[in-house]
Each structure stands twice: as C-alpha cells, then as structure tokens.
Chains A and B, each alone.
Chain A
Amino acid sequence: MALLEVNDLKTSFQTDDGIVRAVDGVSFSVEKGETLGIVGESGSGKSVTCLTIMGLNAKKNTITSGNALFNGEDLLTAGARRLREIRGNDIAMIFQDPMTSLNPVHSIGTQLVEAVQLHRDVSKKAARGRALELLKAVGIPRAERRLDDYPHQFSGGMRQRAMIAMALVNDPDLLIADEPTTALDVTTQAQIMNLMKRLQEDFGSAIIVITHDLGVVAETADDVLVMYAAQVAEHAPVHKLFNRPHHPYTWGLLGSLPRLDADVDRLVQIPGQPPSLLRPPSGCRFHPRCPYVMDKCRTEDPPLVGISDDPEHLQACHLDEATKDREAAKLLETTMAHTG
C-alpha cells in the first residue's frame, strides 16, 4: 500500500464571479521514502492540491471530491480532530516564505516546543531538548543560543532551516514542501535542497516538493507530476521525464530554461497566458497555447494514459507517439547538447 494515494482529487472554490476549479481531477501516489516533485506555473493548482490533502483550505465556499488515502485512511473525510492529530505529526508541511510563516512575536524555540507538545505528552524541558536536537540536525550553528532568538534575528536560509526543523520534529512520514526555496537566493537554495535530501535519508520520510523550478525537481525528485490548469499534463519518473518528455507543455518548460552556454537574444517562451480556472478552455486546456494543436484538441479533453511501451509514464496529449518521440529527441539535442 502506498503511503499516500490521491485519486481524482477535485477542489472548487465558490467565488463572487463563479466557481473556480482549482484542482480538477488529480491522481498520484507517493511511496515511503520517495520524493514526488509537483511542477507547474502559478495558478496550476499545485499548492491547492496539497492544501486540500492537509485540510487547510477555508471551509466556507470550498467543494472537495475524490479521496486522499494516507496509509489507507481518507483524509478528506477524516474529522477535524483526526486531521489535527495527523498534521505536524504524520504529515508536515512547510511553506514558501519563512519570514511570514513564522510568528514574529514568539521565539523559534517556543514555536518548536509548541510543535512538539501538540503531539507528545512531554515536559517543556524535554520538548526543548528535542527542538535543540532538530536545530542542530538542520545545521543551525550555536543552536543552544539560537533557540531563544526571534524569527527576525535569523537570515532567510536559517529561517527556512528552522521551519524544516519544526516540520520534522515529530518524525513525520510525509513532508510536503510548498516552494521551499523560491524565496531564497541560489546558493541557499542548493543548501536547503541538499539538507532535505540528507534528512530524508536520515529520517526516512517521503517528500512532496512543489515548485516551478525544474532544476530543483531534477536534483531531488524520484517522480514528477507536471500540472497545468488544475490538471495533470504529464506524470513520470524523473529521468524519463527529462529524457523523453511527452507533452508539449513539458517541452515548453524544458525549452524555456535559460542556458549559460547558448548565445541567445531572447528566451524561448510558451506563447500566451495560463487560462482562467473560472472558464477553462474546452477540450485540452493547453490547446490555445500549443504549437501542435489539432482540431481534436479543441473539443476532446485528452485522457491521462501511459505511453504504449512505458505504462508508468503518463501523459495527457492527443499527439501521436511517434511525433512526440521525435520532438522530445529534438529538444534533448538542443538543450542537453553541451552537458555531455
């Protein structure tokens, strides 16, 4: 049994302008100790997917369907109390901006101790000890003194480390990281991702990394989910996604990565804008921006199916496989040419 199995998850928000389908039929599973990367543009539904799993959406005006089985238990129908037991304990989540995600008037130590004492019946002293242990594990120097410091006394990278410590303090089976490195500079990004990989080895937790950065995904994920307009465009193990991408959107994403060794005047971009989720395009949602669009694409929503010779590589596109293989190969030639 998979650690987390999500089936046909749909989340809609009732707004004054109509119903926004933020997540429209997403399925995936995560095994113990594995890392799943969810990639997509802003507004693709990647964050809302995970917020829905955690039950952190506002209750009013939100309609959810499908199921999210965590060790066989459906989180979407679990009661509030059960969800609170699971959050911060079996499943932990960290967010994008560590400055605003930490309470500015409580010390880091207080917030870590709170995380411990919410789920373990231990004394404050014991909780502090555990907090200290985690701060050291995430590489914060002089951790004993830093326990009583406040968030604004930490640098951005340190704050994110503290958040990771707070998430891991109760040894969760699954860590969901929503854009963990987006607010950090590049070198700090690398440090944080290495830290997460190392902690995964030490603690054995599964990780879901939500990001728009393909580089992060390439480095850390075992499995990748590419989302577009609240749906899954492609879903494959990481090396297969990068070596044989089978969706025009993925080609666009890979092709638009800036390259140091190529001499280009303008970056390649996917033309157009992500669609409104109030009134998504008919048929395949990517069709208004797709250079390979056919008549069928405008009317029929492509199903998410495996490639004929590789069933674990899923993609949702009407193009024939031969064309896709050809385009993938072309893309690899131009983008991977100089990496040897």
Chain B
Amino acid sequence: MIRYLIRRVLWAIVLFLVVTMVTYVIFFLVPNDLAAKVAGQGSSQDQRARAIHYLGLDRPVYVQYSRFLWRMIKPIPVEVAGVPVFVRPQADLGRSFVEARPVNEIIKAAAPVTASLVFGGVVVWMLIALPVGILSALRPRSLLDRVSMTFVLIGISAHPVWIGLIFAYVFGYKFGWFPIQGYCDFINPATDCGGPVQWAYHMFLPWITYAILFAALYVRMIRANVLEALNEDYVRTARAKGAPEWRVLRSHVLRNALLPVVTMLGMDIGVGLGGAIFTETIYGLPGLGRTVIRAIGINDLPIVMGVVVFATFAIIVLNLIIDLLYAWIDPRIRLS
C-alpha cells in the first residue's frame, strides 16, 4: 500500500509539471498586447518596454517558467513559537498582471464558489441518479424505465448552456421562483445576501443545470450495472440461502453494482471542474471558471496559471483519494 501511494504521488508530481509547463508554453506562444494593457492606454513605447521588463516578460520562456515554479515550491520554514520546526512550500502564485492583486487571493475568493457548485452538483445528481437508476433496473421495460431512459436521452443531448438559459428564463425570470444571477456566501456576513438559506437559494438553479447531464449519464450507468449484477450467480446463491429480496439487493447486488460508480465519480468531479465554466457564466457565479475565462480573454497569465495549478492539484488529490477509497471497498484490488 505504501509503495503504491509513493508511486502515485511521484506520478502526480510528473503530471503536475507537464500540465503547468504545457499551459505556460501555450500562453507564451499566443500573441498578445499585454504590454499595452499593463502600461495603460496611451502609454509610450518606452513605458511599455519598462512594464514588460518589470514583469519579467522579456526573459526566455524557460526562465519565466522556472521562476514561476520556484516561487511555488521554495521551502519556507514553518515556525512554532518563533522556532523553525518544519518547512512548507511557499505556494505563491504571483500577482495578476492586470489587477494588482496576488493570485492566491483571487483564487481563495473564487474557489469556494466553484466548490459549492461542483460538490453540491454531485449531491444533486447522485440523489437523482441512484433511485432512478436502481428502480429502472428492477423494473426493466416498465413505464418508469421508459420515462427515465427518455430523460437520459434529453439530459445527455441538451447542452448545459442551453439548459441553464432555459431554466434561468423560465424559473428565474418568468416565474420568479429563483434568482438568476449572483452568489451568496455560506457564512453569514452582515448583508441580506448571506447564510446557508440564501446560499442554497441562489445555488439551486445552478445545481440543477450542472447536474442534469451527469445525472443522465449516471442513471444509464447505474441501470446497466444493476441489471448485470441481478443476473450474477452469487445473487442466485443468496436467494438459494433464503435471503429476502431487500437483503439480496443491498448486500449483494448494489454492493457490487455500485463499485464502478465510485471510480466514475472521481473522474467526473475532475471533468466537472471544466463543465462548471458554463454554469458559472450563465448564472454569474464568481467562481474559478468565470475567473479563468476572463483572464484568458485579457491574457492575464498569472491568473490562468494560478487556476490551472489549483485545478490540477485538486483533481490529482481527488483522484488519489478515490483510488484509495476504491482499494478499500473492493477486496480484490486491496489484496492484489
């Protein structure tokens, strides 16, 4: 187990380096008029040259990349009561070119929004997919089954942007049931837009929009897995032992059928970070997706790199957790 972990961590580091390097190079190759943006309108050639030099953008790409990397991983002592006890990486993502704020600050503000959307979305889509998928498998070709398969088709075919716009228009604008823009903090600041209720209220439409595609995919997958598990020999053995049907379902069918769902969840949360971009844009949520889109538009490299680093790190950690979880719940993996 330890060796497996170490190997995974090493691979994670390699992956991290590759992703950040590729992003850096792509950015470097895209033509931009960053100098004008940074130095301001109407700045002279000389001022722009000074701005570029100040930002270090006149150095070769590998120099810039290594400076970026070093800024992130440079060990800083961690002090306890004034005594250096431990080291940690500096994790400084630099400063935005355009807004004079440290990138760390920008990410810290945007990440909780995206996290709310993604993790809330996961909960919503699993709450839909599990019962619908399982029931469809238990009653194949029934009315419920056919309705849910139709829902699956629509959910997979309709683009989240389209769904988001329709929902925002119908439920937000026409019926006025839900707000169509904006995000409220979960923790309660002194404004009227704060606290768990307001947070959930503003997130409701985004969650549904975000979750529909994944719910559709998962209903289909869960249904197929459960149908397959129902035909397995060990289910017949369980019935031959005299087990009641609910027990056969819980202990034997679902316990096996839902194993692949765990792996898929890990992968899809990663994919979902990308999908969050659409939903955040439609509903005006100030999350990482919207932040990075804006930054790309104005060629603000540090913010883009910051989001890429954060997202890569988050996905790697998540997948590691999912791998360990999977090894724990499937004894065939655990013991091999």
Residues of A within 8 A of B (CB): 54, 56, 83-89, 92-93, 95, 97, 100-107, 114-115, 118-119, 150, 152-153, 163, 166
Contact = CB atoms under 8 A, between A and B. Distances in A.
A105 B241 contact: no
B22 to A, nearest CB: 39
A302 B237 CA distance: 37
Contacts of A83: 242
B50 interface: no
**Chain A CB within 10 A, most for which of B237, B238, B244, B329:** B237
Given A104-B331, A104-B332, A152-B332, A86 B234 contact: no
Given A97-B233, A104-B256, A88 B240 contact: yes
A20 B236 CA distance: 21
B255 interface: yes
Contacts of B251: 103, 106, 114
Nearest to B241: A88
A105 B239 CA distance: 17
Contacts of B241: 87-88, 92, 114-115, 118, 166
A105 B329 contact: yes
6 contacts: A84-B242, A88-B240, A100-B232, A101-B233, A104-B256, A118-B242
Nearest to A90: B242
Shortest Cβ-Cβ A-B pairs, 7 listed = A88-B241, A88-B242, A87-B242, A100-B233, A103-B234, A101-B233, A84-B242
B80 to A, nearest CB: 43
Interface of B: 232-234, 236-244, 251-252, 255-256, 259, 329-332, 335
Contacts of B331: 104-105, 107, 150, 152
A84 B243 contact: yes
B232 A89 contact: no
Nearest to B235: A103
A224 B179 CA distance: 77
A102 B233 CA distance: 7
B230 to A, nearest CB: 10
Contact of A101 (B237, B244, B255, B332): B237
Contacts of A166: 241
Contacts of B256: 103-105
B332 A54 contact: no
A166 B238 CA distance: 11
B242 A86 contact: yes
A150 B335 contact: yes
A114 B243 contact: yes
A54 B239 CA distance: 10
A107 B330 CA distance: 11
A100 B234 contact: yes
A105 B256 CA distance: 7
A152 B243 CA distance: 23
B237 A102 contact: yes
Contacts of A89: 242
Nearest to B244: A84
B243 A54 contact: no
A92 B234 contact: no
A214 to B, nearest CB: 26
Contacts of A85: 242
Nearest to A163: B237
B332 A92 contact: no
Nearest to A119: B242
Contacts of A150: 331-332, 335
A107 B243 CA distance: 17
A118 to B, nearest CB: 5
A91 to B, nearest CB: 9
B259 A87 contact: no
A93 B242 CA distance: 10
Contacts of B236: 56, 95, 101
Nearest to A153: B335
A97 B232 CA distance: 11
A168 B273 CA distance: 53
Contact of B259 (A100, A105, A114): A105
A166 to B, nearest CB: 7
Contact of A102 (B234, B239, B244): B234
A60 to B, nearest CB: 10
Given A115-B241, A150-B335, 20 more contacts: A54-B240, A56-B236, A87-B241, A88-B243, A92-B240, A92-B241, A95-B233, A95-B240, A100-B232, A100-B234, A102-B234, A102-B237, A103-B252, A104-B256, A105-B259, A105-B329, A105-B330, A114-B243, A118-B242, A152-B331
A103 B234 CA distance: 5
A92 B241 CA distance: 7
A199 B236 CA distance: 24
A137 B120 CA distance: 53
Contacts of B234: 100-104
B331 to A, nearest CB: 5
A96 to B, nearest CB: 8
